[in-house]
A and B are shown apart, each in its own frame.
Chain A
């Protein structure tokens, strides 16, 4: 099962390596990991996407909680939540393809951020599956470069993670 874990942790140097090291040392899987300071500069918020059985996820959560720098851990997939990821994708856009590519970007509510005579750079946000869908919709040979942030997540409504 895919799980999205949200962490609040001390914004200390080395905190990221403790989390990354935990996952590699215990052979847990990381699909993506994003981190940045919060509105309170002493805290960072991290989102980790991982896969594992219920037992494994329980262990991951406990082990994360055990890290001294980690203030809070929440499994977003335990309740309703929103997940977003940002992707920048550079595609070949020449001749007929230019119109076609623009239309496709529109359908996916993408924005063209940069244009050259041979390329478009498109920004897309959404759940990971939507970004995957876009990449599948495009002729593979036209994709020149992609970069993705990994998922960020937040609980819906009153579900708030704060200290």
Chain B
């Protein structure tokens, strides 16, 4: 008997099942109706219907960020596909493994300006790791397999699979490939042994060492290794916005986040170290500021990254090591342990003494006696009430920086934000993705009144799925980060940064079926948070904190300036 033939739509669903997908975020439409009909008939995975395609992609993205698995989203052709683009670009900038399935008009209609036709492969080309248009049902299963493989391997990233409607109707025999190999794609995994040896020696010779870790440590599941190496050496450590949680923030070896809103001690140590170990980080403009200023001080740099194009892109390095971070660090640790040379204790003491002087400036201090709610205080209380154990998603702006500075992340994959693209509207859908992946976990979405309104419709999705997310709105009545730049760099001309006519967020939350609370006094902050995570544990709680409208994020390095040119409170 001939093997059973399946339709393309059945094949899509079978592939997702065989890939082990448990959650699919999406929104239906004409071009994907055949696929939705098969989704309806199956019970292997859940489909989460969002209220806007951008949210489906952010949710799938954050699902991946919090679990390490590939996130999956599905959208229809045309407007469904274009709505997904911001989400895809967000994932691309932060190297998040994701597969996005988009419907396409039937193959004979492609290029005819058909109803809801858009060149999805063309539109997404600059913001995907790779994309495919599947023209033949016989290529469907292998293409989906490749999509998952490409998304998750090497430097991860989003992959789009665009499927014309007729392909979902055509039939062929289904077999999901066990593995794929591609002659044109062989991501490097093993670091060069000679380079690793040189790196270990250079680390041990350092007088003023510094370790700088980035998102690659989280994505490469290397937090335990990084922690082991740092403890072994006793060297000062900083992290980028994307790397927070890679090393426990409360630990004294950790100098806080570096970069535009980094601490004095982290930025100064970065500028003045003599040996810098960069792990899974890319020296981007928000991190080292002006590369010319960074290069003023001489230092030797070791750079470990899975992506060769991240190395020597903005800053020349002395020892490049391309490879899987865990594998490379294992080797470095082994060599450091075996070496008879030990770190120079005297030099290290002097270096730490200098760092402690920087640290003593207490650059994250703020006015704790204020009668208005300080946003930093809310985050500190959030940390206390959740005992550091929550997943924290954020949107983009001042609140994002305060969350990064004041929530002491001590585990990887807990801090979920759009660092590369800086997408307002990310926070709430991201919290949905995280809560779907971790139903029992505490999930907080730290947001601003500008950002939350960019995807507020998702409160409806949260209701449908009873997601007990806590929305922590730091409501300062301004597009705060924009206002801050206008105050500092535009002589206080506040062009369109005031958020007038805000909705009554409590009523809004209630209208969506959730609990809403407005908090306007510092002493009410902690009780409200306790209620949210206690009494209302199983509900979505929208906490509308009315915070100081004039508060700014410090320290701050103005764009284009160097690491030692910080503006302080």
Which residues in chain B, 101-127, are within 8 Å of chain A measured between CB atoms? Answer: 121-122, 125-126
Interface presence of B399 (CB below 8 A): no
A63 touches B309 (CB 8 A): yes
Known contacts: A68-B185, A163-B183. The answer to whether A18 contacts B125 by CB under 8 A is yes
Interface presence of B517 (CB below 8 A): no
B184 touches A66 (CB 8 A): no
A59 touches B309 (CB 8 A): yes
Known contacts: A68-B182, A68-B184. The answer to whether A25 contacts B309 by CB under 8 A is no
Name A8's closest neighbour in chain B (CB-CB).
B184
Name B184's closest neighbour in chain A (CB-CB).
A71
List, in ascending order, chain B residues with CB within 8 A of A70's CB: 184
The interface bits of chain A over 1-31 (1 if a CB of B lies within 8 angstroms of the residue's CB, else 0) are 0000000011001100110010001000000
Whole-angstrom CA separation of A18 from B133 in the bound complex: 14
Q: Interface on chain B toward A: helix, strand, loop, or mixed SS?
A: mixed
B309 touches A21 (CB 8 A): no
List, in ascending order, chain A residues with CB within 8 A of B122's CB: 17
Q: Contact check: which of B130, B133, B184, B308 meets A9 at CB < 8 Å?
A: B184
Q: Contact check: which of A10, A58, A62, A68 meets B129 at CB < 8 Å?
A: A68
Which residues in chain A, 60-94, are within 8 Å of chain B measured between CB atoms? Answer: 62-63, 65-66, 68-71
Q: Interface on chain A toward B: helix, strand, loop, or mixed SS?
A: helix
Q: Contact check: which of A58, A62, A69 meets B184 at CB < 8 Å?
A: A69
Whole-angstrom CA separation of A71 from B184 in the bound complex: 4
A68 touches B130 (CB 8 A): yes
Interface presence of A55 (CB below 8 A): yes
A68 touches B309 (CB 8 A): no
Contact-residue size bin, chain B (C-beta under 8 Å from the other chain) = 10 to 19
A55 touches B312 (CB 8 A): yes
Interface presence of B313 (CB below 8 A): yes
Q: Contact check: which of B121, B308, B312 meets A65 at CB < 8 Å?
A: B308
Interface presence of B150 (CB below 8 A): yes
Whole-angstrom CA separation of A112 from B121 in the bound complex: 44
A59 touches B183 (CB 8 A): no
List, in ascending order, chain A residues with CB within 8 A of B449's CB: none
A21 touches B125 (CB 8 A): yes
List, in ascending order, chain A residues with CB within 8 A of B182's CB: 68
Contact-residue size bin, chain A (C-beta under 8 Å from the other chain) = 20 to 34
Whole-angstrom CA separation of A45 from B182 in the bound complex: 18
A17 touches B125 (CB 8 A): yes
Name A17's closest neighbour in chain B (CB-CB).
B125
List, in ascending order, chain B residues with CB within 8 A of A10's CB: 184
Q: Contact check: which of A14, A59, A68, A71 meets B313 at CB < 8 Å?
A: A59
List, in ascending order, chain B residues with CB within 8 A of A66's CB: 307-309
List, in ascending order, chain A residues with CB within 8 A of B133's CB: 13-14
A62 touches B309 (CB 8 A): yes
Name B125's closest neighbour in chain A (CB-CB).
A21
List, in ascending order, chain B residues with CB within 8 A of A21's CB: 125-126
> Could you tell me the distance in whole angstroms from the C-beta of A66 to the nearest C-beta in chain B?
6
Whole-angstrom CA separation of A18 from B307 in the bound complex: 18
Whole-angstrom CA separation of A25 from B129 in the bound complex: 14
Most interface-central of B121, B125, B150, B312 (chain A CB within 10 A): B125
Whole-angstrom CA separation of A58 from B150 in the bound complex: 24
A58 touches B183 (CB 8 A): no
Cβ contacts A to B, 30 pairs, < 8 Å: A9-B184, A10-B184, A13-B133, A14-B121, A14-B125, A14-B133, A17-B122, A17-B125, A18-B125, A21-B125, A21-B126, A25-B126, A55-B316, A58-B312, A59-B309, A59-B313, A62-B308, A62-B309, A65-B309, A66-B307, A66-B308, A66-B309, A68-B129, A68-B130, A68-B182, A68-B185, A69-B184, A70-B184, A71-B183, A163-B183
| Other A-B pairs, 20, CB within 8 Å; known A13-B133, A14-B121, A63-B309 | A9-B184, A10-B184, A14-B125, A14-B133, A21-B126, A25-B126, A55-B312, A59-B313, A62-B309, A65-B308, A65-B309, A66-B307, A66-B309, A68-B182, A68-B184, A68-B185, A69-B184, A71-B183, A71-B184, A163-B183
Q: Which residues of B contact A (CB under 8 A)?
A: 121-122, 125-126, 129-130, 133, 150, 182-185, 307-309, 312-313, 316
